[in-house]
A = this chain, B = another copy of it.
Amino acid sequence: MNNSGLINKIATQLTQEILSGVITPGGHLVAQQIADKYRVSRTPARDALITLEKFDLLELQPYRGYFVTEDSPQSKARDLLKQLGSDKDYYFQLVDDWLSDDLPVTVTEQYLRNRYDLTKARLNDLLARAAREGWAEPKEGYGWSFLPVAKTTEAFEDIYRFRLAIEPAAMLEPGFEAKPKVLAELRRSQEKLLEVDLGNIPEQLLVSGSNFHEELIKLSNNNYFYSSLKRINQMRRLMEYRAEFHWERLIGECNQHLEIISHLESGEIIEASYLMRRHLQGALKRKTNTILEKNNT
């Protein structure tokens, strides 16, 4: 077995799903199904299963399959996660350095390779990702430029005002469909957030905020709304992952999300669109205040 990022990623995901109870003890994990889910071949899927088996999270019944161990040992799961996650994530390193003004505006690939000790291909991935997410671009000649986005309070506000322009509008698109199934799913996940002991929640669930908005805008059936929100959310996360989390705020936002869902469920799209506007306006006000406070201390 090898030690690639892909196997690592799948193993991490599976472990989190076991930890959070999405996959229940005794469950049968089939390599092919996992492969399909990630749109890869069985090989990395199987290798991920083997990884989990080594940590006693799974039991192997030869030629029958991998089954989640009945007494699912949480501590081992956490050990595994720790080990898997210990891979330095150079991307976040890069982001962090850029956000904290620790990088020149333009750099050569050489410079970055030396600084982060990366191979050409890895660096390429990194830069390609940064370019896709909109904050880096190749110069015409040699080198790359980093764009001055998302670094300041204003950038936060800009993001929220952009979302104010597109999210309520997306609901009023002619193709908008309030798919009951999607709405039910969203409702479930928001309600779950309110129920759970928040202190014990895997990070994975914390994305459900962005997720809510992205799933909702997807209902517009206009891909351009969806993809631009997705892109902007990626950038927003770059900033927010560095900030501490506000639990109280999350609860308030969940309730507003649920309200929006309710309106959509009863076909009151205009009202839902209006509430979305209010919701974002509120978030804009609060975030701005918080950041200002922080900068003043």
A170 and B158 alpha carbons, distance in the complex (Å): 11
**What residues on B are CB-neighbors of A165 within 8 Å?**
165-166, 169-170, 225
Interface residues of A: mostly helix, strand, loop or mixed? helix
Chain B CB count within 10 A is highest, among A132, A139, A161, A175, for A161
| A273 nearest CB across to chain B (Å) | 12
A223 in contact (CB, < 8 A): yes
**What residues on B are CB-neighbors of A139 within 8 Å?**
39-40
Q: Which of B40, B41, B141, B161 is A41 in contact with, Cβ under 8 Å?
A: B141
**What residues on B are CB-neighbors of A223 within 8 Å?**
147, 149, 155, 158
A158-B224, A162-B222 as given contacts; A6 in contact with B40, CB under 8 Å: no
**What residues on B are CB-neighbors of A169 within 8 Å?**
164-165
- For residue A149, which residue of chain B has the nearest CB? B223
The answer to whether B140 touches A222, judged by C-beta atoms less than 8 angstroms apart, is no
Mask: chain A, 38-62; 1 = CB below 8 Å from B; 0 = not: 1111001000000000000000000
| A9 nearest CB across to chain B (Å) | 8
**What residues on B are CB-neighbors of A145 within 8 Å?**
39
**What residues on B are CB-neighbors of A141 within 8 Å?**
6, 38-41, 44
Binds B, one of A71-79, A195-203, A226-234: A226-234
The answer to whether A228 touches B162, judged by C-beta atoms less than 8 angstroms apart, is yes
A173 in contact (CB, < 8 A): yes
| A195 nearest CB across to chain B (Å) | 31
A144 and B23 alpha carbons, distance in the complex (Å): 30
- For residue A165, which residue of chain B has the nearest CB? B169
Within 8 A of B (CB), among A167-185: 169-170, 173-175
The answer to whether B40 touches A159, judged by C-beta atoms less than 8 angstroms apart, is no
Provide 9 A-B residue pairs closer than 8 Å at the C-beta atoms, listed in order of the A residue. A6-B140, A44-B141, A124-B124, A128-B128, A155-B223, A161-B173, A161-B174, A162-B166, A165-B165
Q: A6-B140, A231-B231 are in contact. List 18 more A-B contacts (CB 8 A).
A: A39-B140, A40-B140, A124-B124, A128-B128, A134-B227, A147-B223, A155-B223, A158-B222, A158-B223, A161-B174, A162-B222, A162-B225, A164-B169, A165-B165, A166-B166, A224-B232, A228-B231, A228-B232
Enumerate the 5 nearest inter-chain pairs by beta-carbon distance, A residue then B residue, closest first.
A40-B141, A165-B169, A162-B224, A158-B222, A228-B228
